[in-house]
């Protein structure tokens, strides 16, 4: 077959009253959300005194219209009509606010060890959450406001300069010793003195416990807090203090925080979803069809990995099922793969969870995997599929080393013709089972391409099963519009692939959490 070009167009979204629109900004402004709420459930806010004060101003701004100060950019940054107009209900002030001592937060975030930083900061926020047990009614959402210093210091690759550290930290030799001591104790190889008779040993054991506990959670504060909050059955919205600044406005070409209108759109969409309602739905979805994203995350030992599956339904709901931890990564191939029996168990558990949460009969299951799916895996997945249900396995990855396409135009300067990105939605079908989908590119609605580099297409390959690659491409393009954590016309990757990485990060990053705390609803991971 010769190469064929298709233009798939911009998928529609469904909003209030069954109305549709391409852009969620338009749909929410004109028709309201797909699942309106007369009143939103209660929320709480946790932060420093300064952060809580900024939050009060932010709540007022949420219920007020806002527009970009630069009128030439109104298409890229649409005006925000106010939370009640966009989402059908007034944004409520928090039921309660819980203040975290700013000095304690700063000190915890400046420890020498990255695990100690994230663990100490998360503990300060979680101490406030534990007070919720005294309330008669539990809130639906916790908003955690984080000082910029804390946010910057508590990421996996962050470092704190010597002159800013609040403690001396562990030396490399001490770290190696503690890890070996913990390993020996776990395997019963260590001989310990009676702690009642030797205070030095007691202090060492306490240090070992503290060392081990901090390292059982992610050095990324954000990932750690989201994981540990699940034990309290509380979705979290984390926001930096600087994001809450109402002014100054950002003009075209200026560096800095996005315009207020853009921040309000993104925040409003995220919290509306986490409060239990969907802002939009997928009118293009076919009933009985679901999409499963396979998630893997490599451990620090570079051998073992955590696996999970995310099942997205035609309604837009997401179901997360946690698989097993094991040697699923091949360093030679650079890919993750499950043995057939593990693949069967993962999909069987996912389908069982789906039946508990939804219960509607399945017709087709499309597996999306960045690493692809080999024959042994597919046979395992196939054994888990109910009789009469179609299973199609698809590899979805960015084609960074492939060819690039440009759009020809009638630019007055002949030398500049053919230099602009192709329109989002172009599908270059190379074979009956493979093609390149441009999920990034020129967007007529905003009259620009909102990127800085030449758009990288998605390489889509139907590896197993009877799947129409053109229909597969249409579905994947639609799935780029199901990110409820922001308000965007469309993103570069489908939610099955993009959020599989996020789920994997939170799962693997927190091995100290028991499996019983993990939640199936995706709002806990967003």
pLDDT digits (tens, 9 = 90+) for 295-333: 887 776 677 777 888 888 767 777 787 777 788 888 777
Answer whether residue 451 is part of any domain. no
Burial 130-149 (b: 16+ CB within 10 A, else e): eebeeeeeebbbbbbbbbeb
Do the domain assignments include residue 62?
yes
66 and 188 fall within a common domain: no
Residue 132's pLDDT band (cuts 50, 70, 90): confident
Pairwise CA distance, residues 121 & 102, whole Å: 11
Q: What are phi and psi of 22, to 5 degrees?
A: -80, -40
Q: 183 with 53, same domain?
A: no
Q: What is the pLDDT of residues 66-88, one digit of tens each?
A: 887 776 677 778 899 999 999 99
Q: At what angle do helices 172-187 and 199-214 cross, to 10 degrees?
A: 100
Lowest mean pLDDT among 9-13, 120-124, 447-451: 447-451
Q: Which domain holds residue 189?
A: 168-214
In a domain, 63, yes or no: yes
Note the pLDDT of residue 188: 60
> With contact defined as beta carbons under 8 Å apart, do 41 and 89 qualify?
no
How confident is the model at residue 185, as a pLDDT? 64
For residue 194, pLDDT beyond 50: no
- Let me know whether 105 and 231 are in one domain: yes
Scan for tokens 């888990």, then name that residue: 384
- Answer yes or no: do 136 and 255 share one domain: yes
182: pLDDT strictly greater than 70: no
For residue 480, what is the domain's CATH number?
3.30.420.10
Question: What is the average per-residue pLDDT within 417-444?
Answer: 89
- Residue 212 binned pLDDT confidence (cut-offs 50, 70, 90): confident
What pLDDT does 318 receive? 78
Residue 359 has pLDDT above 90, yes or no: no
Residue 208 and residue 322 in one domain: no
- Minimal CA–CA distance to 250: which of 83, 73, 82? 73
Most confident of 58-62, 163-167, 503-507: 58-62
Distance separating alpha carbons of residues 158 and 113, to the nearest angstrom: 10
Q: Which residues contact 88 (CB under 8 A, 6 or more apart)?
A: 16, 32, 33, 36, 37, 38
176, part of any domain: yes
Taking residue 414's Cβ as centre, other Cβ atoms within 10 Å add up to 8
170/63 Cα distance (integer angstroms): 48
Do residue 227 and residue 323 come from a single domain?
Answer: no
- Is the same domain home to 187 and 299? no
First to last CA, the chain: 41
């Amino acid at each position: 077959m010769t190469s064929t070009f298709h233009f798939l167009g911009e998928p529609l979204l469904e909003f209030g009253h069954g109305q549709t629109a391409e852009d969620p900004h338009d749909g929410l402004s004109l028709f309201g959300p797909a699942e309106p709420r007369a009143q939103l459930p209660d929320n709480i806010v946790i932060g420093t005194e300064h952060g809580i004060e900024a939050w009060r101003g932010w709540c007022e701004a949420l219920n007020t219209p806002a527009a970009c100060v630069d009128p030439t950019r109104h298409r890229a940054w649409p005006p925000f009509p106010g939370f009640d107009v966009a989402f059908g209900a007034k944004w409520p002030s928090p039921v309660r606010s819980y203040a975290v001592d700013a000095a304690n937060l700063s000190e915890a975030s400046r420890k020498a060890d990255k695990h100690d930083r994230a663990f100490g900061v998360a503990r300060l926020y979680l101490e406030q959450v534990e007070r919720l047990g005294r309330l008669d009614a539990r809130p639906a959402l916790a908003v955690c406001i984080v000082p910029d210093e804390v946010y910057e210091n508590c990421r996996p690759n962050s470092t704190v300069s010597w002159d800013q550290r609040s403690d001396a930290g562990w030396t490399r030799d001490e770290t190696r010793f503690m890890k070996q001591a913990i390993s020996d104790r776990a395997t019963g190889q260590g001989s310990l003195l009676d702690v009642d008779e030797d205070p030095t040993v007691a202090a060492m054991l306490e240090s070992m416990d503290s060392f081990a506990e901090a390292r059982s959670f992610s050095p990324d504060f954000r990932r750690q807090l989201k994981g540990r909050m699940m034990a309290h059955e509380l979705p979290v919205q984390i926001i930096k203090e600087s994001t809450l600044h109402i002014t100054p406005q950002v003009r075209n070409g200026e560096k800095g925080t996005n315009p207020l209108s853009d921040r309000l759109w993104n925040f409003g969409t995220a919290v509306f979803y986490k409060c239990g309602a969907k802002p939009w739905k997928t009118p293009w979805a076919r009933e009985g069809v679901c999409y499963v994203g396979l998630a893997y995350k490599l451990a620090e030992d570079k051998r073992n990995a955590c696996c999970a599956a995310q099942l997205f339904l035609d309604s837009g709901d997401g179901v997360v099922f946690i698989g097993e931890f094991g040697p699923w990564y091949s360093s030679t191939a650079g890919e993750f793969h499950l043995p057939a029996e593990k693949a069967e168990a993962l999909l069987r558990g996912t389908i069982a969870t789906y039946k508990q949460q939804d219960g509607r009969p399945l017709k087709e299951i499309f597996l999306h995997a960045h690493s692809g799916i080999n024959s042994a895996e597919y046979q395992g997945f196939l054994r888990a599929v109910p009789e009469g249900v179609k299973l199609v396995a698809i590899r979805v990855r960015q084609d960074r080393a492939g060819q690039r396409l440009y759009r020809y135009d009638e630019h007055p300067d002949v030398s500049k013709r053919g230099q602009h990105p192709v329109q989002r939605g172009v599908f270059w079908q190379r074979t009956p089972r493979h093609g390149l989908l441009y999920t990034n590119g020129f967007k007529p609605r905003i009259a620009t391409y909102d990127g800085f580099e030449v758009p990288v297409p998605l390489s889509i390959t139907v590896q197993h099963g009877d799947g129409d690659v053109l229909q597969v491409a249409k579905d994947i393009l639609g799935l780029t519009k199901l990110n409820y954590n922001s308000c965007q016309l469309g993103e570069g990757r489908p939610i099955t692939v993009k959020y599989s990485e996020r789920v994997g990060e939170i799962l693997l990053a927190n091995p100290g959490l028991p499996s019983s705390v993990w939640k199936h609803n995706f709002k806990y991971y967003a």
